[in-house]
Structure 1
Amino acid sequence: MATTVQTRVRGRPAHPPGPTFLCYTPNGRRLVTAGSNTVIRIYETGSTGEPVNVDDCQENNLAVAATNDFFIIGAEDGMVTMYSLETNQYEKMLVRCTLPIRDIALSPDGQWIAIASDELTVKIVSTKDPENTYFYIRDLYKPAKHVTYDPSGSYLTISCSDGVVYVYKLSTQEPQLVRKIEGMTRALETDSEVSSKVIWHPDGRAFAIPTPLREIQVISSADGEKQKMFTGEHTGDISALAWSPNGALLLTAGLDRKLVLWDTTTQKALAKYDYSNVTNIVWHPYQNLVSFSTSDGEIFIYQDFIPQQHISFLEKTLISAPLLGNSLSNGLDETRGALTNGTKHPDQVRRRKRTPDPVDDILGIDSDQDDDGFVEDDDGAGYTINGNGKRTNGHLDELDDDLRKRAVWSPSVHDAFQPGSTPWRGNRRYLCLNLIGFVWTVDQDANHHTVTVEFYDREFQRDFHFTDPYLYDKACLNDHGTLFSSPSSHDTPSIIYYRPHETWTARTDWKIKLPPGEEVTSIALSESYVVATTSTNYVRVYTLFGVPFRIFRTKSSPVVTCAAWRDYVLTMGNGPVGPDGTAKLLYTIENVRRDVVCQSEDVVALPDNGDIQTVFFSDNGDPCIYDSDGVLLILQHWRTPGQAKWVPLLDTRLLDRLASGRKEETYWPVAVAQEKFHCIILKGGDKYPYFPRPLLTEFSFQIPISSLPRNKKQTGDEMDEDEEENAVLANEGPRLEEAYIRHTILHSLAADLIESTHSTHTQRAELTTREIEIDKTLLQLLNVECREGEERGPKALEIAGLLRDSTGAGKMLEAARKIAGRYEQQQLVTKIEDLVNKRLTEGLEDL
């Protein structure tokens, strides 16, 4: 789970409130910022003094880009102007548009500037001779919101306000459309704070695009196909994103007031930072330094941005883009690297005298070709190569030695989650899905949501709907009420809100505000209690009327999730790290009314490299989990300390409906009730249910005892009568064995419930019925073994010995003797009679 970085840097009020933009020069020595006033500010890296102010610029500047020698500003009045970084004076106007400028992008060599405006044209102008050297891209249906060059400068991506992304090749006389990508990002107004910007990975083989689902999708530049995805962290639209210079990290900002630092290789979040209204992010080219700006006119210069435990990511060389299969194929074509003016990026002309390196293939470098060992470092960016073909660290100047220290290893932990909730998809998400009903919310993009609670049984409860100014992101629903929680905002702490369906007096809602800095990570609701786990690893328990009942800190942390049933509370958290570098997931079950711990810090049985998808109590009050492999497990003997074990009830990968291999579907767990698994079928590669409300499906338990023979009927082929009869006979034995172990497990769970509660006559009668069902299954299995011949005698006798004969009258063993006699297995009959006599003798001794 990503750690939340508590250290905050002070924002610098660089410009008046409004859109604010910034960029570093390629050598990292200066940071240039622009905003809604007429002043451009230039900050010296490492200096604590005041910035240099460049006055008398246009107002409402909306874009900035820089080389080591000059910077370029695009303004709302349509002007794009160049200023010298040597004299900090105006040099020339590059172009004038009739509508506001929305974005500009400099080619890697600084010789071309691409300009996006509210016009239906993107202009590409030479920075040296803008009047005579330019190109126009005119075949756009909507204005461009963002423009981006690839690392070589050979390709330009354009994100338009209708959600369409265009990829143009610039190595010919006129730009050529290479690819048109539709439906990947949402349609946006050109002045929206939400980003649809394409960011190229530094190796040039892929680029990333923010999606409407608050995810970041990686796209292969070679074929335009979807690759890996960064998902699950942002609850608000993406407003800014940027790769680290070596491509090992991705930093994203969202309207949920979070900055998220991602590992490129695993697509997992490493750290989170709490900053609101972030609209632009830039990495320093060499230092552990990130700067970002906000719509409040502030900039943040964050030294030592990467936490110490993750500093090794910045020390790596160029990291490959996160492609499926991690193919080392080049980008769009073999001509990558040629700019429109025939020059190449400095990184591409650096040749190395050494053994071949896969990075050479990415950069288009011939590692076998020698050179004279001389590379001119005319821009001071630190491109000098030593005799071993490696870049020296001279460019680091007086940077912290932390970058050269040994990396601190960090384990992988389980992320916190709310059972039954789904991520945002568009502007909607489910907060809760169970057999009572469902809770869903809609983002209205006006600092509020609307929440709807619907019930399957509308005669039992009426649906309700309300406006949500607190932005609730978690919910629980049962027969008694609905529970919500919300994250904190800049002026409101995290809130727990309970709304009962009805009481014997007037309905009484209640809210509880958590202490500042404490966030709700998961909530649970039972017939008796409200439970919340928090970012401080507290477990807070309240009665249904808001009375604080228990508070304690979990031993396993960070806390992951929780569930509740009657007086029992189950919590999960991260424990010791296993040999694979992942923290073990531990659970604790406690009776909070009696203050008794049933299971303490026991391990959740997960598959290797697997994770938990959800946790809940069955209708009989037994803890269940559903893992990432699609296996449903139930906790047996959990009321007895030290005796609990996770038992599989169903492996959805072995369902008959999937036997033909023609169906590709997964299952969203909802509940375990009436001895069935209730779920939602997800098709088409979906990971979460979406609107309209999906139908519930139920599957009977099927213990994965053995691999049943697959017949033609299961695979969708036709069968004649003989084939069908043989298939039934072949499956009868394994089917009965599965039924025996299933009935045994359910009997054990029922026996534990009766032993630990004030059982009713009906429950005790059901337990006896289950014992009889077990014996009936064993007798049927005995019949199968006797039918196969005398060589199955030992197994048949063992089956007879498993008979419980709960009535004590010996009827089941007598039935077993008759089955053996029917198949004329006299030896088996004799041994069963001996077994009867032995049990009678043992019964007399007990008396």
Structure 2
Amino acid sequence: MSLEGIRPRPRPAHPPGTTVLTYTSDGRYLITAGSNALIRIFNDGDDGEPRTLEDGAAENYLGVAATKDAFILGAEDGTVWRYDVETGKTDKLLVRCLLPVRDLAISSDGEWLAVASDELTVKIVNTDDMTNVKYLREQTKGSKHVTFDQTGRFIAVSCTDGFLYIYSVESDEPQLVRKLDGAIRRLEATDDATSRAAWHPGGTAIALAQANRDIAIFSTSDWTPQKPFTGGHNGEITAIAWSPNGELLATAGFDGQILLWETNTQKILKRYKFANVTNLSWHPTRNVFSFSTSFGEVYIHEYFVSREHVSILEKSGESALRGGPLGETSGNARKPMVDRSKSGEENGRRRAGSLDSLDDLLGSAGDEDGFVDDDDGAGYAEDVNAFGKRTNGHLDGPEGRQQKRFASYWEPTVHAPFQPGSTPWRGNRCYLCLNLTGAVWTVDQESHNTVTVEFYDSELHRNFHFTDPYRYDKACLNDNGTLFASSPVDSPATIYYRPHETWTTRGDWRTQLPAGETVKAIALSDSYIVALTSANYIRIYTLYGTPFRIYRQKSQAITCAAWRDYVLTIGNGPVSHNGGSSMTYSIENVKRDEICQNEDIVAISEGEELKSVFFSDAGDPCIYDSEGVLLVLQHWRTPGQARWVPLLDTKLLERLSKGRKEETYWPVAVAQDKFHCIILKGGETHPYFPRPLLSEFDFKMPVSTAPPKANEDEAESDTRNDIMRFEESFVRENLFLSLFQDVISTTNATRNQRAELARKEVELDKILLQMLAIECREGEDRGMKALELVEMMRDRSGKMLEAAAKIAQRYNRSILEDKIRELGERRLMGMDEDDELA
């Protein structure tokens, strides 16, 4: 059994809140601290309980840094303390700030510690002589992050005003090298989103999280942006960390994912589903990756990089960024500074692996001072990686003692929340809503967003555009109005409704959720507004802002939809046999306070995801999954009777069988008995700008088909195709008749509705007549099936049965004709077989 596929267990280490962690430089210990006074020290490779230090000098730790022998913690009270790793005793007070410390960074040689705080000045203190301090004074606001480059000569300060400051700290008086505007987001010091500058281990680039969820890359030679890492997260990025050799990049986000990128190709190698991750830390020498969450949990992920990609982690950094973001600027790469004043095996081996990953593109690899080169075959460089450390090749295989260690660590896979009709950020814009009414999209303008609402019918409604300081990230649109929701970034989560028409001066309204509560999904109907929140509350409002109902959903909220008085909610339910959480749905009539379906299972195939959920124009719930199947919910108004029925399998469309293989479909709506969607080509997963055209497809249920016969001629092939076409039509129209009957039976049917029901029954009988004609034409031996088709007719007046008898007479099927007339007589007398059994 391989350990690489086993999900690590969460280790409750601290109370909910900011939880920081880091490895010591030799990788022997993992240090964690959080919102209490406890400090945890995990021994590398030991699955037992960590060592706990209960007599910490402070509490509410917000920053951590470590060397081989010591670790340093910065607290909310403004103090920075150094601790001895082995004894856990407080060594000394290094720095005292008047305002909370937000981040710490230590130089690679361990001599200098940078302290970012809410003060305007960043302090750089000598770890051996606390009176030797340098000051970075150019910031106009407090600092959120501070990071050293590998050489210790340069430092990056991420300020809360949205500027990134780059200093040279080689001299006693630091010099401002560059002030970058627009490189990072403007964030508050307490935000979980990150603006940290992650220096590439080669020192030639920095990685920065962008507002559009991309990872920007800046060259350190001229501080110009290079090719970014795109198409990754759907939520704000909370942490970034390069692997020790710079060949891999790990990022975490609010979308509940940790992404593993390959630096050279900028491709995503793997997605890991872990929610609320705020800090990341690579083990310096082994394939181990640790991270913490805002719930105070710590994960230690052994074999984080899978077997097929572990060779990338073991590279010496020679190909990092090749042909990628910095291929143009590698000639200006700055070589790392080797501190020759230090002696000893440790320093020599560590410096041996610090070869710039871009310098060797210019032919400089192999001739750096101190680089270990086993050119005489003596073996002294065997199993030594680029950092002068032994690789994990000497360790026991995954079938060793650690197999038992991870056998019981398991956590189910859950479906991430999403907003139907929206797209992820791409560049600086995304669609908040796309449906048959129109489109809502937003553009990130750094300091604010701009929102555009555009209608397909411009004569019915007028397009509008407005400046959005709340940064709405969800929207719903219908013929009555537009609904928006924002995440709690600079203010609490906000819900905003704007009607299209009103007879008063002002009809729009805005409300805020309680502090700490976020909106996961929203829905808008002709009668109500629905919001699913992070507290698992379902909040229901009237169209003009009156809170109507609030209750807690039984399962973890995923998404929702609404139609008239009905609300459909979907959440993560019980764990299925494959270890994933099955999705459940509930349907409620809000006006009558009735539950139609309660925590029933959403019919999604194993391994597939839910892509969208919406009501059809007739008011029937529909879902579309990643397999390309559109399903409708039948009998959903009757508790316990609902079932999901496939209306269309897009993989079986004829256009795909004609060579159009690079094509997928993005669902928009079900209306006018058609599936409305956007065709995506060239491997695209979401629509983009300019606004794409809508396409529509007729429904075609995936009914089983008859295989062709050997030596089948053209006439036989046409007959077989006709049979399959009529069979599919019969099943489909029977479904639509059933859906319409449900409407009639649960509402006060009008005269037009009753006439429509009768028309649908006649159309269904006509399909059976066409199928009967084929069976009669094919031969006498198919008389049993022909009679069965007649028995399925719904007509009680005798007209359709008379037509069926004439068809049998036309093809000289006398026995069949007699049985059809006998059936007609029984029905006229009210003595159908069902009546006799009754």
Q: Tell me the TM-score normalized by structure 1.
A: 0.66
Paired residue for 1:29?
Answer: 70
**1:830, distance to aligned residue in structure 2 (A):** 3.0
Aligned to 1:625: 623
Q: Alignment partner of 2:599: what SS?
A: strand
Distance 2:770 2:255 in 1: 62
Aligned to 1:262: 258
Q: Give the residue type in structure 2 aligned to 1:509.
A: D
- Say whether residues 1:665 and 2:679 are aligned partners: no
1:534-613 matches, within 5 Å, as: 534-556=533-555, 558-613=556-611
Q: What is the correspondence of 1:678-697 to structure 2 with a 5 Å cutoff?
A: 678-697=676-695
Give the conservation status (yes or no) of the 8 Å contact 2:184–2:210.
Answer: no
Question: Out of 305, 314, 321, which is 2:300 matched to?
Answer: 314
| Equivalent-residue separation in structure 1 for 2:741 and 2:393 (angstroms) | 75
Question: Alpha-carbon deviation of 1:457?
Answer: 1.0
Contact 1:519–1:535 (Cα < 8 Å) also in 2 = yes
- Find the counterpart in structure 2 of residue 734 from structure 1: 724
* 1:71 Cα deviation from its structure 2 partner: 4.9
Residues 783/84 of structure 1: CA separation in 2 closer, same or farther (3 Å cut)? same
Q: Give how far 1:785 is off.
A: 1.9
Q: Could you tell me whether the CA contact under 8 Å between 1:217 and 1:229 is conserved in 2? A: no
Residue identity matched to 2:597: Q
Report the counterpart of residue 122 of structure 1 in structure 2.
none
After TM superposition, give the deviation of residue 320 of structure 1 in Å: 2.1
Q: Decide whether aligned partners of structure 1 residues 386 and 534 sit closer, same or farther in structure 2, where only a CA change above 3 A counts.
A: closer
Q: For residue 141 of structure 2, what is the aligned residue in structure 1?
A: none
- Pair 553,307 (structure 1): closer, same or farther in 2 beyond 3 Å: closer
Structure 2 counterpart SS, 1:267: strand
Instruction: Indicate the residue corresponding to 1:443 in structure 2.
Output: 444
Partners of 2:662 and 2:470 in 1: CA distance: 39
Conserved 8 A contact 1:251-1:259: no
Provide the rounded CA distance (Å) in 2 between the counterparts of 1:726 and 1:375.
Answer: 70
Helix, strand or coil for the counterpart of 2:568?
A: strand
The unaligned stretches of length 5 or more in structure 1 are: 13-20, 34-38, 56-61, 76-81, 93-101, 107-111, 118-124, 131-142, 146-160, 163-186, 202-206, 219-223, 275-279, 292-301, 350-363, 392-403, 712-721
Instruction: Tell me by how many angstroms 1:271 deviates.
Output: 2.5
Alignment match, 1:136: none
Deviation at residue 262 of structure 1 after TM alignment? 2.1
Cα offset, 1:564, TM superposition? 0.8
Question: 1:744: Cα distance to partner?
Answer: 0.4
Shift, 1:594, TM fit: 0.8
**2:818 matches 1:820:** no
- Cross-structure match for 2:108: 67
Alignment correspondent of 2:453: 453
User: Is the CA contact (8 Å cut-off) linking 2:256 and 2:416 kept in structure 1?
Assistant: no
1:220-369 paired onto structure 2 within 5 Å: 230-234=232-236, 238=237, 241-242=240-241, 252=251, 262=258, 267-272=271-276, 311=298, 313-314=299-300, 316=302, 318-320=303-305, 326=309
Deviations 1:547-602 (A, max 9, x none): 1111111112x111111111111111111111111111111111111111111111
What is the alpha-carbon distance in structure 1 between the residues aligned to residue 728 and residue 127 of structure 2? 78
| Percent sequence identity over aligned pairs | 45
Structure 1 residue 503: deviation in Å?
Answer: 2.5
Find the residue that maps to 1:445 and give its secondary structure.
coil
Shift of 1:755: 1.4
Q: How does 1:716-731 map to 2 (within 5 A)?
A: 728-731=718-721
Mapped partners of 2:604, 2:241: distance in 1: 35
CA contact (8 A) 1:375 1:384 kept: yes
Whether the 8 Å contact between 2:436 and 2:668 is mirrored in structure 1 is yes
Matches within 5 A, 1:836-847: 836-843=824-831
Q: Which residue of 2 aligns with 1:52?
A: 94
Written as runs of structure 1 = structure 2, the 5 A alignment for 1:103-252 is 105-106=149-150, 188=183, 213-215=212-214, 230-234=232-236, 238=237, 241-242=240-241, 252=251
Which whole-Å CA distance do the structure 1 matches of 2:186 and 2:463 have between them?
A: 38
Query: CA 1:608–1:209 in structure 2 vs 1: closer, same or farther (change >3 Å)?
Result: farther
User: For 2:726 and 2:631, how far apart are their aligned partners in 1?
Assistant: 20
Q: 1:522 to 1:384 in 2, by over 3 A?
A: closer
1:422 aligned residue:
423
Closer, same or farther: CA 83–617 of 1 in aligned 2, 3 Å = closer
In the alignment, the residues of structure 2 paired with residue 829 and residue 724 of structure 1 have an alpha-carbon distance, to the nearest angstrom, of 30
Aligned to 1:776: 766
Quote the Cα distance in structure 2 between the aligned partners of 1:386 and 1:766. Answer: 74
Residue number in structure 1 paired with 2:783: 793
Which residue identity does 1:271 align to in structure 2? Answer: A
| Secondary structure class of the residue paired with 2:696 | strand
What is the aligned partner in structure 2 of residue 353 from structure 1?
none
> Are the aligned partners of 2:107 and 2:148 in contact in 1 as well (CA < 8 Å)?
no
Q: Structure 2: how far apart are the matches of 1:7 and 1:246?
A: 31
- Name the counterpart of 1:432: 433
**SS of equivalent to 1:842:** coil
Distance 1:767 1:844 in 2: 22
- Residues in 2 aligned to 1:725 and 1:771: alpha-carbon distance in whole angstroms: 31
- In the other structure, the counterpart of 1:652 is 650
Q: How big is the shift at 1:759?
A: 2.1
- Whether contact under 8 Å (2:185, 2:210) holds in the other structure is no
Q: SS in structure 1 opposite 2:735?
A: helix
**Which region of structure 1 is more displaced relative to structure 2, 639-648 or 532-541?**
532-541
Q: Residue 501 of structure 1: CA displacement?
A: 1.4
Specify the code of the residue in structure 2 equivalent to 1:409: W
Deviations 1:60-118 (A, max 9, x none): xx99763355459999xxxxxx99865679899xxxxxxxxx98643xxxxx779799x
**Cα displacement (A) at 1:499:** 1.1
Cα gap change, 1:71/1:504 in structure 2, threshold over 3 Å: closer, same or farther? closer
Q: Would the alpha carbon gap of residues 433 and 305 (structure 1) be closer, same or farther in structure 2, given more than 3 Å must change?
A: closer
Structure 1 segment 626-641 matched on structure 2, within 5 A:
626-641=624-639
> Secondary structure at 2:732's aligned position in 1?
helix
Unaligned runs of 5+ in 2: 1-6, 19-33, 38-61, 98-102, 117-123, 135-145, 157-167, 172-176, 188-193, 218-225, 261-268, 321-335, 339-346, 355-371, 399-404
* Equivalent position amino acid for 2:587 in 1: I
Structure 2 contact 517–535 (Cα < 8 Å) conserved? yes
**Alignment partners' CA distance in 2, 1:731 and 1:487:** 53
Partner of 1:747: 737
Q: Distance in 1 between matches of 2:747 and 2:513?
A: 35
Shift in Å at residue 700 of structure 1? 0.7
Aligned-pair CA distance for 1:384: 12
1:249–1:263 Cα contact (<8 Å) kept: no
Deviates more, 1:597-606 or 1:464-473: 464-473
Write the distance in 2 (CA, Å) between the matches of 1:259 and 1:652. Answer: 28
Tell me which residue corresponds to 2:143: none
* CA contact 1:28–1:285 (8 Å) conserved in 2: no
Contact 1:22 1:282 in 2 (8 A): no
Q: Which residue of 2 aligns with 1:398?
A: none
> Per-residue deviation at 1:26?
5.2
Hey, what's the Cα distance between the residues in 2 that align with 1:789 and 1:535? 64
SS for the counterpart of 1:685 is: coil
How far apart are the structure 2 equivalents of 1:417 and 1:824? 61
C-alpha change, 1:314 and 1:829, in structure 2 (3 Å) is same
SS at match of 2:471: coil
Aligned residue in 1 for 2:699: 701
Whether the 8 Å contact between 1:539 and 1:553 is mirrored in structure 2 is yes
Cα offset, 1:825, TM superposition: 2.6
Could you give the per-residue CA deviations for residues 291-310 of structure 1, whole angstroms, max 9, x where no partner exists?
A: 9xxxxxxxxxx9x76868x7
Q: Distance between the aligned counterparts of 2:437 and 2:488, measured in 1?
A: 29
Verify the 8 A CA contact 1:669 1:679 in the aligned structure 2: yes
User: Which residue identity does 2:606 align to in structure 1?
Assistant: D
RMSD (CA atoms):
5.6
Q: Which amino acid aligns with 2:739?
A: L
Cα separation, 2, equivalents of 1:589 and 1:273: 33
2: CA distance, partners of 1:793 / 1:555: 54
User: How far apart in 2 are the matches of 1:691 and 1:430?
Assistant: 9
Bigger drift between 547-556 and 586-595 goes to 547-556
- Amino acid in the other structure paired with 1:802: M
Three-state SS of the structure 1 residue aligned to 2:596 is strand
Residue 680 (structure 1) shift: 0.8
Provide the residue aligned with 1:174 in structure 2.
none
Which residue of the other structure, out of 781, 785, 793, is the alignment partner of 1:803? 793
